[in-house]
Amino acid sequence: MTRIATIDVGTNTALLLIADVGDGRLEIVREVDRYVRLGQGVDANRRLAPEAVARVVAALADFKAVADDLGAETVVIGATSASRDAGNLDELMEQVRALGLDYRVISGKEEALWTFRAACSAYPDLGTVCVVDIGGGSTEVVVGRADAEEPRRVSVDIGSVRLTERCFPDLPPSPEAIEAAEAMASDAFARLSVDPALPLLGSSGTVRVLGALAQPGEPTAPVSAETVRVWRDKLLGLSAAEVLALNPDLLSGRADVYAAGVLILDAFMQRFGFEAIHPSPRGLRHGLALRWMGA
């Protein structure tokens, strides 16, 4: 077994995994989540804000210290939507290199593939599945078997931070703002075709948090489409402070964008007719570890 550290740098979060990998196994040692909002203003400006860069660099420095303390032999970074969209990414990469880390931006299709592999690894007996991963800047949809070399996958530019910045300047949003957000979500999924008879897995924080909010004590149990819609309507009627008050431990760092994430999930499930979604405890950071192990 080899101990490695993987870091998923997303639009809203930076997620660390310390794991022992080998012999086809992945054993989790430590997981750390930080809310860095790297995508602050990126959708509108195509540039990383200086304060967002500072937050990410600070988080990565802390993660490197954790990895060193726990004896990780290598650190692998996979950066996603906000990093793909930013025209001034070099400013961030230079500071990350100064920490002794390699900041690698992965494509939307790479993100989709390794998120899929990770989500399926928590449900190895389901056969062909659909995995949806709702991030801050993009949403990945993948269909296939866990062992498929090339599952059908797509990444679309809609996520909780992007949708909030475009449609929800005020919370709770107005009916007109909600209508605009629904139209944006519908357009994003318009070119997809998915069989609703397949098991649906959700690998993002949006789905995991919803499972914990809606089903205390059974956070990984399937969440029905009806429950998703009830929570969508509830969240869209609250301010960011009121969303946070529902569960500060779960919603700190995402309260202002969480309603948009659940709206995207609801739009996806309603469009294709899925009756329930299984929250997967694994996401891209676990997929990066699986990729490293395979290589």
Burial (CB count within 10 angstroms: exposed 0-12, middle 13-18, buried 19+), residue 255: buried
pLDDT at 295 over 90: no
What is the phi/psi pair of residue 17, to 5°? Answer: -130, 130
Distance CA 220, CA 28 (A): 18
Contact 194, 130 (CB under 8 A): yes
pLDDT single digits (tens) 21-42? 998 899 999 999 999 999 999 9
pLDDT at 58 over 90: yes
Lowest mean pLDDT segment, chosen from 83-92, 160-169, 214-223: 214-223
pLDDT single digits (tens) 237-277? 999 999 999 999 999 999 999 999 999 999 999 999 999 99
The pTM score is 0.94
Domain residue spans of the chain: 2-105, 124-279
CATH architecture of 124-279: 2-Layer Sandwich (3.30)
Both tokens of 112, joined, read 């989709």
Same fold, 2-105 and 124-279: yes
What is the average per-residue pLDDT within 175-193?
96
pLDDT at 294 over 90: no
pLDDT single digits (tens) 196-208? 999 999 998 999 9
Distance CA 23, CA 18 (A): 17
pLDDT at 148 over 90: no
Tokens 């990945």 belong to: 140
Structure-model confidence comparison of residues 127 and 209, the more confident one: 209
At the top level of CATH, the class of 2-105 is alpha beta
Torsional sign, CA 24, 30, 31, 32: negative
